[in-house]
Amino acid sequence: MKVGIINVTGYAGIELARLLLQHPHVTLTSVTGRGEAGKRLPDVFPHLYRLPLEITPELGTVDLAFSALPHKASAEAVAPLVRQGVKVVDISADFRLPDVQEYEQWYGVKHAAPELLKEAVYGLTELHRQKIGKCRLVANPGCYPTSAILGLTPAVDNGLIEPDIIVDSKSGVSGAGRALSIGTHYSEVNENLSAYSLGGHRHLPEIVNELKVRKAGFQPRVTFLPHLVPMTRGILSSCYATLKPGALPEGKKGIQEVQRLYGDFYKGETFVRVTEAPPETKHTWGNNLCLIYPTVDVRTNRLIVISCIDNLVKGAAGQAIQNMNLMLGFPEAAGLQAAAVYP
Amino acid sequence: MKVGIINVTGYAGIELARLLLQHPHVTLTSVTGRGEAGKRLPDVFPHLYRLPLEITPELGTVDLAFSALPHKASAEAVAPLVRQGVKVVDISADFRLPDVQEYEQWYGVKHAAPELLKEAVYGLTELHRQKIGKCRLVANPGCYPTSAILGLTPAVDNGLIEPDIIVDSKSGVSGAGRALSIGTHYSEVNENLSAYSLGGHRHLPEIVNELKVRKAGFQPRVTFLPHLVPMTRGILSSCYATLKPGALPEGKKGIQEVQRLYGDFYKGETFVRVTEAPPETKHTWGNNLCLIYPTVDVRTNRLIVISCIDNLVKGAAGQAIQNMNLMLGFPEAAGLQAAAVYP
Amino acid sequence: MKVGIINVTGYAGIELARLLLQHPHVTLTSVTGRGEAGKRLPDVFPHLYRLPLEITPELGTVDLAFSALPHKASAEAVAPLVRQGVKVVDISADFRLPDVQEYEQWYGVKHAAPELLKEAVYGLTELHRQKIGKCRLVANPGCYPTSAILGLTPAVDNGLIEPDIIVDSKSGVSGAGRALSIGTHYSEVNENLSAYSLGGHRHLPEIVNELKVRKAGFQPRVTFLPHLVPMTRGILSSCYATLKPGALPEGKKGIQEVQRLYGDFYKGETFVRVTEAPPETKHTWGNNLCLIYPTVDVRTNRLIVISCIDNLVKGAAGQAIQNMNLMLGFPEAAGLQAAAVYP
Amino acid sequence: MKVGIINVTGYAGIELARLLLQHPHVTLTSVTGRGEAGKRLPDVFPHLYRLPLEITPELGTVDLAFSALPHKASAEAVAPLVRQGVKVVDISADFRLPDVQEYEQWYGVKHAAPELLKEAVYGLTELHRQKIGKCRLVANPGCYPTSAILGLTPAVDNGLIEPDIIVDSKSGVSGAGRALSIGTHYSEVNENLSAYSLGGHRHLPEIVNELKVRKAGFQPRVTFLPHLVPMTRGILSSCYATLKPGALPEGKKGIQEVQRLYGDFYKGETFVRVTEAPPETKHTWGNNLCLIYPTVDVRTNRLIVISCIDNLVKGAAGQAIQNMNLMLGFPEAAGLQAAAVYP
């Protein structure tokens, strides 16, 4: 089958192209990108030398399109495609928040295709597999929400935690995209560490929305704080929540029990692994894994969950392909099996 | 006056030597270090070429000694010095916890000089200035506790927060010392991020002890989680606590009020600065500043405090010299005024 | 077919395991490593979770073995295998230098299996493809020599250059292996750059030997200087040589001509690409490419060749698999087609 | 005395401000920078919080001005100052090349003040100390030329080498300035290494000019190739030249002799140190040293010189202050004595 990438020139788009090269069942036949239109893909990205496609202003005929456009522009671009029957995985934020008002508040723009919000499926594959398989428009989750939601959902579903939740996330710099800014200038970022968006980050409502639909009456109060770390790829989210009284046995038994519950929750998953030791982002470098380590701070009876992903793979392009596989009827892991690159 | 460094060959010891080079009132006259004894300091550390001291097995006669030995060995080495009337700043953990049992539990060794615990002063300079000026043994704080305690104390003192506190700290690799381990191997750490000591880190009791003595009846329940970040220097601690009902006005006014309270608390301090924008570790690179940014997550009524230091300076050698200045009657900032190196 | 890795626990061994996971025609069935014997591979290297092999002290029955042991130990281990009819790709230096005396001088040890030197083939695949396909013992080239020899051979073969050659190479830290040393400690290497082995590096004779066999009477006088660069993967070699008078047209035409000659030389190669713009190591990150850019410094009539590889792939494990493919009769590129990971 | 910085907002300007803060004899009283005019210095650069100067569009009255403007703009700005009797250290390239035609060829612009070329002194302090002390306009050298010329001059002066010289330089990213470009984007530079300016870099004529004036009849033919290394600060230049027959004794004696000659040449220098072991850029991090290690490749009779500096200090702001000290009659090392920051 033929697939295309709208706006291939950002990091999510480029990563899609890299991963699709290895896909056994689809062929990337069309890539767009206004700034570089007219050039061949390898002229701009030499590592894609085996993909000698021309970057065009408009998408050619494809069975499924990935949109890696910024928000607003993305909804504008994909709405006509969906209407024409092209399946779409939208990597932008445009269809992630079901409530159009919430979207317009956080993003400060008018939604370009609110009529599609109802049918769009939030593409956290492990949690919405069935709907994704049947839909024609997937809202691919944000990178931070992917790590946080996968890390917290088993605790919510098992009724382990109070609604007060803190998500302290740390991301590599590629999460800020390929656009130029002083905040991604090498000399400014290297040997530096900072928190940002202290007034509220747009990924917060995604996290809240997904957690609150898990359990009737669960009204999460989430503080989400992202940090910029001097590395290219990787997100590690440290999630904290108070355990409900009696939710777990005391002491080490509680730790074992929470690990068992998480293990059961993700049993059989190809891309979510509950680890026996605290994971490191490097163990996901370049591949589609989410590594999750739940434990208990027995001194304070608090749940701690560490969740690691590669922000460009499970946090963007990889999960998009995982969703595409479901939408097109391929095995969910097709084309996504390469091991992380270590060291 | 003459000062000496016991175990100059670790990163805290080396940093002491670098900073003392610029000190106007003391002279570094003796440095020890068993592994490298017999060599000249510049032969091992070329950047110290202006300090052609021989590294000796035993300390010469000095007015004040810094000990940069590991715990246990440090107490053994400094106890006789203190008895001889040499003032000591101990950078190890040996005199940080006033309760010998707590010490022995966390460090798994018998304390080598418990009789000195009573007189040792915890050297968080801004909080114990007067006692430090009069004592002969300072327990120089750990790097993480320095950032966390300075970040949280104004909130505790002003009665702003509930005792449930989360300290999510991120440190550069030099905090792990100069000893060799797979965890500090470049290829393992670079492009990697991990949480560690999930079962409890030894800096936790320092943080709890200092916070609980601030206010009668305040019994902090602290979860402290350190992370290793691919950079050489810098600690950023993100501290979270629930605000007491009515402690601050709602919305933006609460943010302004907490910034005012913090500003007042640290008014006149040379090395603690309350910033108007979220700080970055790079702004403390190589110098003795602690930068603190308090704010409120108005959606959840939670206090967030960001606290940045250079782990080797304010988190170790710089604060040790700050304490030395008080102990020897010099201006507190003597020798510590160089600006951070940026970029 | 079954293959095994002797000493899987160094970076070359680990990278072999990662790449073999994707190989369509062979199965990794046995891995050794004394220090970690008894553990399962994923317990030591979590990214290899899909390879739940036990690390054993001795190799099981395989059709082909890779040895990633240090020199001397490698010859000792592979000699009996070769005699038993097991094909071997030796990643150590033991069989790279055909002259046993030269070997013993540079490596300071007695050769453990000199009788195999005659049949061992130097595994620079592009230059010795035919012999490799027929042999049973391949001496896999060093990382630096791979970049330098591929970069210089077209110039030698075309008679373009005088024998005075300078190879200034820069390598990421993984080239120094996984063993612990102060020279690979993160805090020492990060934000640092140094030249090493100024008295002569063991990869020099490999380079000289390969260049001098290219052309009768060509006696290269090579200065080779390696540098350590703060990154994990990648080698960039800058090669300089004086052009023979009249070897190329003057000015820009000379540049075009040398690019044409190089392009012709590597025409049809899957893993060597002559680029139109100076390459970057990132464009080879994690894959088996060697990118070569030849040009002329027209002011001094000097040839400059930039040659980039991933030291762990084309400089070690990838080229080893490329050689294995030839030895076992598979397509040369089997299992090695994944694109570089960028950014 | 009062000094000012024209265009304080680039890395050279910022570094000047940092270093001048520690200067015992001058006060920074005026800083310009059009983009940020009207803001206070600490609002843009928090590490300069002790310099609460307003950034103004035009320079105030000062005794000496540093210009950190780009070429062309710098000559335009400093020419009137010089005429008014203000001493100037120009960090741009505008007065480095004495031949106006050569300048206009390399920089592609018309020179804005050619009448000042004659009196401008090339500010490589160690080589032009006397003239610098008497002049009113110093052309502060480029970062690469500083490392290369200091590394090669003793060999030229002692008649050791043939004129064929290769300078392979490697620089940290701050050398590319604070302006935004894809070439300084963190995700592009990190874990990457590349050569650039293969067609000729503007620092080449500086190197050639300085070397050729050292010795009558010496006509250097220099190939200069810069590389971008993933670190913030530091330049390491590896210089290669063929030794004249008989210039040095053979073997190890030649190495000792060249080290002695270099040692003699730089005897008494505060900021140039001839080292006994190969230096690392980290040993110059943040300070004004140039570390030089000369040796001989005895196999090929080639001189190798390794030269390390911090590109922003000895390669820019530090050397500018060193020159200012001479121009204003202060001790040459005033304000420049802080040790490098290690690790």
pLDDT (0 to 100) of residue A340: 98
How many CB pairs below 8 A link A and C? 80
- What is the average per-residue pLDDT within B314-343? 98
- Let me know if residue B331 belongs to a domain: no
Chain A positions in Cβ-Cβ contact with residue B223 (cut-off 8 Å): 240, 297, 299-300, 302, 304
Residues D155 and D78 in one domain: no
In this complex, is the C-beta atom of A191 within 8 Å of any C-beta atom belonging to chain C? yes
Cα-flanking dihedrals φ and ψ of residue A196, to 5°? -145, 170
pLDDT > 90? residue C212: yes
Region class of D293: left (phi > 0), else alpha (psi between -120 and 50), else beta: beta
Query: For residue D317, is it within any domain?
Result: no
Q: Name the minimum distance, in Å, from the CA of B157 to any CA of chain D.
A: 27
Could you write out the DSSP letters of every residue in D88-144? EEE-SSTTT-S-HHHHHHHH-S--S-GGGTTT-EE--HHHHHHHHHH-SEEEPPPHH
| Cα–Cα distance for residue pair D172/A191, rounded to 1 Å | 13
- What are the CA-CA distances from residue C296 to residues A231, C250, D242, D320, D324 (Å)? 36, 9, 20, 35, 40
- End-to-end C-alpha distance for chain A, whole angstroms: 35
- A34 pLDDT above the threshold of 90: no
The alpha carbon of residue D77 is apart from the nearest alpha carbon of chain A, in Å, by: 26
Look at residue C34 in the predicted model and tell me its pLDDT: 82
Q: Looking at residues A68-72, what average pLDDT do you find?
A: 98
Question: Which distant-in-sequence residues (6+ apart) come within 8 Å of C12 by Cβ?
Answer: C68, C91, C312, C316, C317, C320
Q: What is the pLDDT of residues C27-45, one digit of tens each?
A: 999 999 988 999 999 999 9
Task: Retrieve residue D129's tokens.
Answer: 């100390």
Q: For A112-124, write each residue's pLDDT tens digit.
A: 999 999 999 999 9
Contact B238 A229 (CB under 8 A): no
B39 in a domain, yes or no?
yes
DSSP state of A85: T
Question: C343: distance to nearest CA of chain D, Å?
Answer: 6
Per DSSP bridges, beta strands D27-32 and B161-171 are: unpaired
Neighbouring residues of B184: CB distance < 8 A, sequence distance ≥ 6? B173, B176, B177, C185, C186, C187
Query: Which uninterrupted H or E stretch holds A146?
Result: helix A143-157
Give the integer Cα–Cα distance in Å for D46 and C329.
Answer: 63
Q: Hey, is the C-beta of B109 within 8 angstroms of any chain A C-beta? A: no
Which of D166, D192, D298 to probe by mutation at the C interface, max C CB count within 10 Å? Answer: D192
Q: What are the chain A neighbours of D234 within 8 Å (beta carbons)?
A: none
Q: Which of C52, C57, C45 is nearest to C7 (CA)?
A: C57
Largest CA distance in chain C: 64
What CATH number has the domain bearing residue A273?
3.30.360.10
CB contact under 8 A, B184 and C181: no
Judge whether residue C238 has pLDDT over 90.
yes
Which residues of chain A lie closer than 8 angstroms to B233, CB-CB?
191
Are A184 and A306 members of one domain?
yes
Q: Is D308 a catalytic residue?
A: no
Cα–Cα–Cα angle for A194, A198, A199, nearest 5°?
Answer: 155
Same domain, B302 and B169: yes
Closest by CA position to D333, among listed D290, D285, D268, D270 = D270
Share of chain C above pLDDT 70, in %: 100
Q: Classify residue B136: in a domain, yes or no.
A: no
Q: Find the length of chain D.
A: 343
Q: If you average pLDDT over residues D284-297, what whole number do you get?
A: 98
Token code pair at residue C298: 């027209």
pTM of the model: 0.98
Band of residue A15 on the pLDDT scale cut at 50, 70, 90? very high
D151 and D106 share a domain?
Answer: no
Mean pLDDT of chain D: 97
CA distance C160 to B337: 59
B window 156-185, beta carbon within 8 A of C? 172-174, 178, 180-182, 184-185
Using CA atoms, how far residue D91 sits from A110, A114, D4, D13, D121, in Å, is: 49, 56, 13, 9, 12
Residues B286-319: pLDDT tens digits? 999 999 999 999 999 999 999 999 999 999 999 9
- Chain B nearest-CA residue for C44: B182
Report the pLDDT averaged over residues C224-253. 97
Question: Which residues 37-66 in chain B show a CB within 8 A of chain D?
Answer: 45-50
Give chain C's length: 343
Helix (H) or strand (E) holding A266: none
Are A115 and A154 part of one and the same domain? Answer: no
Nearest chain D residue to B46, by CA: D283
Number of B/C CB contacts below 8 angstroms equals 54
A vs D: CB pairs below 8 A:
54
Total tally of structural domains belonging to chain C? 2
Residue D337 domain-assigned? no
Residues D178 and D270 in one domain: yes
Residue A331 lies in a domain: no
How does residue A130 score in pLDDT terms, banded at 50, 70 and 90?
very high
- For residues B198 and B299, state if they share a domain: yes
Q: Do B182 and C185 touch (CB under 8 A)?
A: no
Residue by residue, what is the 3-state secondary structure of chain B? CEEEEECCCCHHHHHHHHHHCCCCCCEEEEEECCCCCCCEHHHHCHHHCCCCCEEECCCCCCCEEEECCCCCHHHHHHHHHHHCCCEEEECCCCCCCCCHHHHHHHHCCCCCCHHHCCCCEECCHHHHHHHHHHCCEEECCCHHHHHHHHHHHHHHHCCCEEEEEEEEEEECHHHHCCCCCHHHEHHHHCCCCEECCCCCCCCHHHHHHHHHCCCCCCCCEEEEEEEECCCCCCEEEEEEEEECCCCCCCHHHHHHHHHHHHHHHCCCCCCEEECCCCCEHHHHCCCCCEEEEEEEECCCCEEEEEEEECCCHHHHHHHHHHHHHHHHCCCCCCCCCCCCCCC
DSSP state of A218: -
Record the tokens describing residue C266, joined without a space: 């590597």
Same domain? For A156 and A288 the reply is: yes
CA–CA gap between residue D38 and residue D325 (Å, rounded): 30
Verify whether the Cβ–Cβ distance C49 to A14 is below 8 Å.
no
The Cα of B188 is separated from the nearest Cα of chain A by a number of Å equal to 6
As a whole number of Å, the CA-based R_g of chain B is 20
Q: What is the pLDDT of residues A254-297, one digit of tens each?
A: 999 999 999 999 999 999 999 999 999 999 999 999 999 999 99
Q: Angle at CA B254, nearest 5°, toward B249 and B255?
A: 175
Nearest to A170 among B166, B227, B308 (CB): B227
Q: What is the mean pLDDT of residues D226-231?
A: 98
Q: Would you say residue B80 lies in a domain?
A: yes
Residue C17: pLDDT band (50, 70, 90) is: very high
In the sheet that D64-67 helps form, which strands lie side by side, from edge to edge? D55-56, D27-32, D2-6, D64-67, D87-90, D137-139, D121-122
Which three-class secondary structure string do you get for C94-127? Answer: CCCCCCHHHHHHHHCCCCCCHHHCCCCEECCHHH
Q: List chain B residues with CB under 8 Å of C174.
A: 187
In C, minimum Cα distance to A232 occurs at: C343
Q: Å from A113 to nearest chain C CA?
A: 32
Nearest-angstrom CA–CA distance, B176 and B188: 14
Chains in contact with A, where contact means 3 or more Cβ–Cβ distances below 8 Å, are: B, C, D
Is some CB atom of chain A closer than 8 A to the CB atom of C193?
no
Q: Is residue A228 part of a domain?
A: yes
Contacts of D337 in chain B (CB under 8 A): 22, 50
* The predicted structure's pLDDT at residue D204: 98
Identify the CATH number of the domain in which residue C32 sits: 3.40.50.720
- CB pair distance less than 8 Å for D185 and A184: yes
CB contact under 8 A, D184 and A186: yes
Q: Which of D47, D49, D274, D293 is the best substitution to test chain B (most B C-beta atoms within 10 A)?
A: D47
Which of C142, C167, C152, C174 is CA-nearest to residue C319?
C142
Q: Measured between CA atoms, how close is C79 to chain A, in angstroms?
A: 30
Q: Which chains touch B (3 or more CB pairs under 8 A)?
A: A, C, D
On chain C, the residues whose CB falls within 8 A of the CB of A287 are 47
Same domain, B107 and B169: no
Domain boundary among C119, C134, C155: C119
CB contact under 8 A, D338 and B338: yes
Q: What is the pLDDT of residue A217?
A: 92
Same domain (yes/no): B70, B171: no
Looking at the structure, do residues D263 and D202 belong to the same domain, yes or no?
A: yes
> Cβ distance B297 to B242 under 8 Å?
no
Q: Give the residue numbers spanning the domain of D78.
A: 2-119
Token pair for D299: 């196999």
pLDDT of the residue at D34: 82
Assigned token pair, B208: 């709890």
Q: D75 and D152: one domain?
A: no
Can you tell me the distance from the alpha carbon of A185 to that of C107, in angstroms, rounded to the nearest whole number? 44
Of C223, C227, C280, Cβ closest to residue D240: C223
What pLDDT band is residue B145 in, cutting at 50, 70 and 90? very high
**Which single residue is written with the structure tokens 């355990």?**
A243
Chain B residue numbers with beta carbons less than 8 Å from the beta carbon of D275 are: 46
- Residue B34 pLDDT greater than 90, yes or no: no
Give C43-90 pLDDT, tens digit per residue.
999 999 999 999 999 999 999 999 999 999 999 999 999 999 999 999
CA A160/CA A247 separation, integer angstroms: 5
What's the mean per-residue pLDDT of chain B?
A: 97
What's the confidence (pLDDT) of residue B285? Answer: 98
- Does residue B227 register a pLDDT over 90? yes
Would you call A283 and C48 a contact, using CB atoms and an 8 Å cutoff? no
Band the pLDDT of C24: cuts 50, 70, 90.
very high
Neighbours of D103 (CB within 10 A): 25
